[in-house]
Amino acid sequence: MLKHTDRFYKVYTGLPLEERKIPIVIIEDMPINWNLAREEIDNNTERGEKILKTLIELEII
């Protein structure tokens, strides 16, 4: 089974560059696009963990 971050990157790398700018979830009243999600996940932030959890729950990744 892929780790959560691996699942994220598998989807992220397949997206067109313009698609990465589109908001995918709202976390703490802030719209999160793929690029911001990648930054938060790369920096291993608490928000990054919330983003991963939400993307998995919504079956986006």
Residue pLDDT, tens place only, 16-35: 999 999 999 999 999 999 99
The reported pTM is 0.89
30 beta partners:
27
Write out the residue range of the structural domain in which residue 22 sits.
Answer: 4-57
Please tell me the predicted confidence (pLDDT) of residue 58: 96
As for how many domains the chain has, the answer is 1
Give the residue from 43, 37, 35 showing the smallest Cα distance to 16: 35
CA distance 57 to 39: 20
- Asked if 20 contacts 35 with a C-beta cutoff of 8 angstroms, the reply is yes
Contact predicate 34/22, CB 8 Å: yes
